[in-house]
Chains A and B, each alone.
Chain A
Amino acid sequence: MSNKQIISTRQFTIVTFLYSIGTSILIIPSYLAELSKQDSWIAATVGVLLSILLLMLYITLANTFPKRTFIEIIEKVFGKWLGKFIAILFIIFAFMNSSELLYFIGSFMQIEIMPETPNTAFVLLFALIIIMGSYLGLETFARSAELFFPMFMFLFIFFIIFITPDIKFENILPILDTAPRKFIASVLYFMSIFSFPSIMLLMIFPHTINKNKSAQKGFYLGILLGGFVLILLIALCILALGVINTASQNYPTYVLAQRISIGNFFQRIEVIITFMWIITIYIRTFVYFYTALVGLQQIFHIKNEKPLILPLSFLLIGVSQIIHPNITHSSIYNTGVWIPYSATFSVILPIFLLLIAKIRRL
Chain B
Amino acid sequence: MRKEATLLLLTVLCLLLSGCWSKRELNEIAIVVALGIDQLDDEYEVTVQIVNPGEISSKQPTSGRSPVATYSATGATLYEAIRKVTLLSPRKSYFSHLQVVVLGSEFAATDINPAFDFLSRDHEFRNDFNIVVAYETTAKDIISVLTPIEKIPAHKITNSLEISEKAWGSTVSVTMDDVITLQYGKDSSLALSTIELIGNKKIGKSQENVNQIVVSAVLKYRGLAIIKQGKLVGILTEEESMGYNFLTDNIKSTIEKITCPNGGDLATEITNTKTSLKGKIVDDTPKIYIEVNVEQNVGEVNCVIDLVTEQAIKKINEETSNVIKQKIEKTLHALQKNYEADAVHFSNILHQQEPKKWRKIEHQWATLFPDVEVIVDVRVQTKNSGTIKNSTFFLSKE
Contact = CB atoms under 8 A, between A and B. Distances in A.
Nearest to A116: B22
A297 interface: no
Contact of A174 (B21, B126, B351): B351
Given A112-B123, A258-B126, A258-B127, A244 B181 contact: yes
A140 to B, nearest CB: 17
A244 B123 contact: no
Contacts of B351: 174, 177
Given A174-B352, A174-B355, A177-B355, A115 B181 contact: no
Interface string A96-130: 00000000000000011111111001000000100
A113 B353 CA distance: 40
Given A117-B21, A121-B21, A173 B123 contact: no
A113 B355 CA distance: 39
Interface residues of A, number: 23
A123 B180 CA distance: 32
B373 interface: no
Interface string B14-48: 00000011100000000000000000000000000
Contacts of A259: 177
Interface in A64-93: none
Contacts of B348: 170
B177 A245 contact: yes
Contacts of A173: 352-353
A261 interface: yes
Contacts of B126: 258
A114 B22 contact: yes
A112 B125 CA distance: 11
A141 to B, nearest CB: 21
Contact of A241 (B12, B20, B181): B181
B118 interface: no
Interface in B331-385: 348, 351-353, 355
Q: How large is the interface on B (under 10, 10 to 19, 20 to 34, 35 or more residues)?
A: 10 to 19
A242 interface: yes
A241 B353 CA distance: 20
Contact of B180 (A244, A258, A261): A244
Contacts of A121: 21
A214 interface: no
A316 to B, nearest CB: 18
A244 B184 contact: yes
Interface in A173-225: 173-174, 177
A174 B181 contact: no
Given A111-B123, A115-B123, A174 B180 contact: no
B275 to A, nearest CB: 13
Contact of A114 (B20, B120, B184, B353): B20
Interface of A: 111-118, 121, 128, 170, 173-174, 177, 241-242, 244-245, 248, 255, 258-259, 261
15 contacts: A112-B123, A115-B22, A117-B20, A117-B22, A170-B348, A173-B352, A177-B351, A177-B355, A241-B177, A241-B181, A242-B180, A244-B184, A245-B181, A258-B126, A261-B128
Which 8 A-B residue pairs are closest in the complex by CB-CB distance?
A116-B22, A117-B21, A173-B352, A174-B355, A242-B181, A177-B355, A245-B180, A245-B181
